[in-house]
Amino acid sequence: MVDLLIGIFLATLITALFTARLYRLLMWYSLNSLSLGLLALTIGRAQHDGAMIISGLITLLLKAGAIPWILKRLSQRFGLVRQITPNIRIQYAIMLVPAILVFTFYLAEPISHMVEGNANYVAISISSLFLALLLMMEHNNIAPKIVGFLSMENALFLLGTTATGGMPMLVELGIFFDLLMAIVVINLLMRREEMENSGEAGA
Amino acid sequence: MSLYLLTVAVLLLIAPLLLGVIKALKMWLLFKRPLSLLQGYRDVAKLLHKENVVSEEASLITRVAPFLILSPLLIVLFFLPPAVQGAWYVSFVDAFTLTGLMALSTFFLMLLGLDSASSFGGIGASREAFIAALAEPAMVLTIFAVSMMAGDLGVGQAGVNLASRFPEKHMASYLFAAISFFILLIAENGRIPVDNPETHLELTMVHEAMILDIGGVWLAIVETAAAVKFVIFASLFASLFLPFGYGLAWPLALALFVGKLFGVALAVALVEVNTAKLRLFKVPNLLGIAIVFAFLSLITFYVLGA
């Protein structure tokens, strides 16, 4: 079950890399967070870890539901560009994605003995970190960059849940508050971009 | 032996029905009055009564090609993994043989398109070559990855192994292979994001453009070949990626298998209703995703072991 959910996590992230439409991208991000939340619930139930179940529920509510919805609302309000073509051409992306996966495996090998449980999950989490970074890099527009940032946070959460068997509750809650703060900052950022755009239109 | 032949006969019989089901489901989802499920059989019966008209430019190829389109697919039908326990199966046929036989069929389809010397045939053939050249490597990789997970390179044996011992340790790579294979199923059968089987608009045609110039019995054969190809892909999907219910008593297991085929048809119909057809030059992006997932499936299996 854990393997399946991690597979869905990675698959949605990779599909998001190739997406050229904003709302589709938000949908993939939502599915990505959904699999992450379910993963946290599964691991939490297996380890009888109440804190992890709570953070899984918060993930489901916040990242799979609220944040994509808020981002969609914001992008509608500010009239953001919805056609987001990746800068990296698909031929190169096809070669990059598997290369990242293989590279991170060797990157994670030295620390794999420190991890309790399955060491491969560390490699997958780090590779999804890099993939999220790639998502941020390959777009010029602000909205997909935000989604890339949020996916990066998802990858860190995955690393936290699978490698350590549950971070302290306080750390996780702190991350969630950071995320909410980030959304507020992003709102301001979008407002600024809108002002610049309207300024250009006026001039 | 009898079960083996029965399975092949059932698959062959429901082939036109499956395509009819997709069409009817699509019409029903679009609030149209669905056409009869038997329309596929009626079309074949109608075409069998018509005379064969051939273009003046056509050579011997046009007369031979329809049979060479259908026969490799019929051979593949005999190499599929078994649907029920205790049935015979061919264990040694691997990904290369299956893909190669289907590529042979596609090759003659393209020759048929070129042979009529109409411009449409040329368009269709070049597009088909363009799509097939990208789909086949992904197909070899995907089937290869699944056979590695099942522990046997033969596709038939792989299906049996998967049914008896599901690769729970390798769920991640199994899922990647399933995604890749579903994209291939859509691309190779010319369903909507890649090709629209229902229009005769020159901008969108691929499969229809190649068979525009033939009629009568030959058209019936080529249409049957298209239906058989869908059945092959659907039953490969059912036995490689939905390997449950194999050990039931044989009438139940066969019924469940046919049910899975209709499930695949339903999934294809839902995809067709919900997506717009891609521009031809965007099709490599879709097939690129299929290749990436096929690669990732092999890599996660070999390198990560997940």
Task: Say how far apart CA B175 and CA A101 lie, in whole Å.
Answer: 16
* Domain assignment of residue A203, yes or no: no
Q: How many CB atoms lie within 10 A of CB A92?
A: 11
pLDDT classification of A201: cutoffs 50, 70, 90: low
- What's the pLDDT score for residue A105? 82
pLDDT classification of A200: cutoffs 50, 70, 90: low
CA B121 and chain centroid, separation: 22
Q: Tell me: pLDDT of A34 over 90.
A: yes
Task: Say how far apart CA B164 and CA A4 lie, in whole Å.
Answer: 19
Q: Tell me: pLDDT of A2 over 70.
A: yes
Could you report the per-residue pLDDT of B24-49, keeping only the tens digit for each? 999 999 999 998 999 999 999 999 99
Range from B55-59, B98-102, B187-191, B279-283 that averages highest in pLDDT? B98-102
What end-to-end distance do the CA atoms of chain A give, in Å? 57
**Residue B6, CA distances (Å) to A202, B13, B226 in order:** 74, 10, 21
Task: Identify from A42, A94, A104 which residue to disrupt to test chain B contact, counting B C-beta atoms within 10 A and taking the largest count.
Answer: A94
- What's the pLDDT score for residue B48? 92
Task: Say how far apart CA B14 and CA A130 lie, in whole Å.
Answer: 47
- What's the pLDDT score for residue B70? 96
Residues 6+ apart with CB under 8 A from B63: B54, B218
**Residue A101, CA distances (Å) to A97, A161, B123 in order:** 6, 20, 39
- What's the pLDDT score for residue B54? 85
Q: Give the residue-averaged pLDDT of B149-177.
A: 90
Q: Which of A8, A101, A120 sits opposite B305 (nearest CB)?
A: A120
Residues of B in contact with A13 (CB under 8 A): none
Q: How many CB atoms lie within 10 A of CB B138?
A: 25
Q: What percent of chain A has pLDDT over 90?
A: 20
- What's the pLDDT score for residue A122? 84
Count of structural domains within chain A:
1
ipTM of predicted complex = 0.80
Q: Give the residue-averaged pLDDT of B138-150.
A: 92
> What is the DSSP code (8-state) at residue A113?
G
Could you report the per-residue pLDDT of A101-135, keeping only the tens digit for each? 888 888 888 877 777 667 778 888 889 999 999 99
- What's the pLDDT score for residue B229? 95
**Residue B281, CA distances (Å) to B74, B277, B278 in order:** 32, 11, 8
Residues of B in contact with A1 (CB under 8 A): 171
Q: What is the mean pLDDT of chain B?
A: 91
CA-based nearest distance A135→chain B, Å: 15
Q: Give yes or no for a contact between B235 and B254, defined as CB atoms under 8 angstroms apart.
A: no
DSSP helix/strand/coil, A64 = helix
Q: Which of A10, A18, A94 sits opposite B172 (nearest CB)?
A: A10
DSSP helix/strand/coil, A140 = coil
A124 → chain B, closest CA residue: B304
Q: Is the dihedral of CA B175, B178, B183, B184 positive or negative?
A: positive
Q: Tell me: pLDDT of B125 over 80.
A: yes
Long-range pairs, A110-119, Cβ under 8 A, ≥24: A115/A163, A116/A165, A117/A162, A117/A163, A117/A165, A118/A162, A118/B306
Residues of B in contact with A18 (CB under 8 A): 285, 288-289
- What's the pLDDT score for residue B104? 95
One-letter amino acid identity for B59? Answer: S
Q: Give yes or no for a contact between A65 and A30, defined as CB atoms under 8 angstroms apart.
A: yes
CA-based nearest distance B296→chain A, Å: 6
pTM for the full model?
Answer: 0.89
Q: Which of A6, A94, A98 sits opposite B299 (nearest CB)?
A: A98
CA-based nearest distance A17→chain B, Å: 10
Q: Which of B93, B60, B59 is nearest to B77 (CA)?
A: B93
- What's the pLDDT score for residue A167? 67
Residues of A in contact with B171 (CB under 8 A): 1, 3-4, 7
Q: Give yes or no for a contact between A131 and A17, defined as CB atoms under 8 angstroms apart.
A: yes
- What's the pLDDT score for residue B73? 96
* Domain assignment of residue A103, yes or no: yes
Three-class SS of chain B: CHHHHHHHHHHHHHHHHHHHHHHHHHHHHCCCCCCCCCHHHHHHHHHHHCCCCCCCCCCHHHHHHHHHHHHHHHHHHHHCCCCCCCCCCCCCCCHHHHHHHHHHHHHHHHHHHHHCCCHHHHHHHHHHHHHHHHHHHHHHHHHHHHHHHHCCCCHHHHHHHHHHCCCHHHHHHHHHHHHHHHHHHHHHCCCCCCCCCCCCCCCCCCHHHHCCCCCHHHHHHHHHHHHHHHHHHHHHHHHHHCCCCCCCCHHHHHHHHHHHHHHHHHHHHHHHHHCCCCCHHHHHHHHHHHHHHHHHHHHHHHHHCC
CA-based nearest distance A51→chain B, Å: 26
Region at B89 (left for phi over 0; alpha for psi -120 to 50; beta for the rest): beta
Q: Tell me: pLDDT of B102 over 90.
A: yes
Beta bridge partners, A21, equal: A83
Q: Give yes or no for a contact between A30 and A150, defined as CB atoms under 8 angstroms apart.
A: no
Torsions phi, psi of A6, nearest 5?
A: -65, -35
pLDDT classification of A141: cutoffs 50, 70, 90: confident
Range from A94-98, A173-177, B100-104 that averages highest in pLDDT? B100-104
A89 → chain B, closest CA residue: B285
- Name the residue range of residue A132's domain: 2-197
Q: Which of B282, B109, B133, B293 is nearest to B208 (CA)?
A: B109
Could you report the per-residue pLDDT of B246-291, keeping only the tens digit for each? 888 899 999 999 999 999 999 999 999 988 888 888 888 899 889 9
Q: Tell me: pLDDT of A202 over 60.
A: no
CB contact under 8 A, B296 and A10: yes
Q: Give the residue-averaged pLDDT of A28-44.
A: 92
- What's the pLDDT score for residue A166? 64
Q: Which of B175, B284, B299 sits opposite A7 (nearest CB)?
A: B175
Using a 10 angstrom Cβ sphere, with 0-12 exposed, 13-18 middle and 19 or more buried, the burial of residue A201 is exposed
- What's the pLDDT score for residue B47? 93
CB contact under 8 A, A94 and B173: no
Q: Give yes or no for a contact between A144 and A135, defined as CB atoms under 8 angstroms apart.
A: yes
Region at A191 (left for phi over 0; alpha for psi -120 to 50; beta for the rest): alpha
pLDDT classification of B106: cutoffs 50, 70, 90: very high
Q: How many CB atoms lie within 10 A of CB B273?
A: 14
Quote the tokens at residue B219.
């058209």
More confident residue, B202 or A41: A41
Q: Which of A97, A120, A121 sits opposite B292 (nearest CB)?
A: A97
Domain segments of chain B as ranges: 2-304
Q: Give the residue-averaged pLDDT of A37-41.
A: 91
Q: Tell me: pLDDT of A23 over 50.
A: yes
CB contact under 8 A, B303 and A97: no
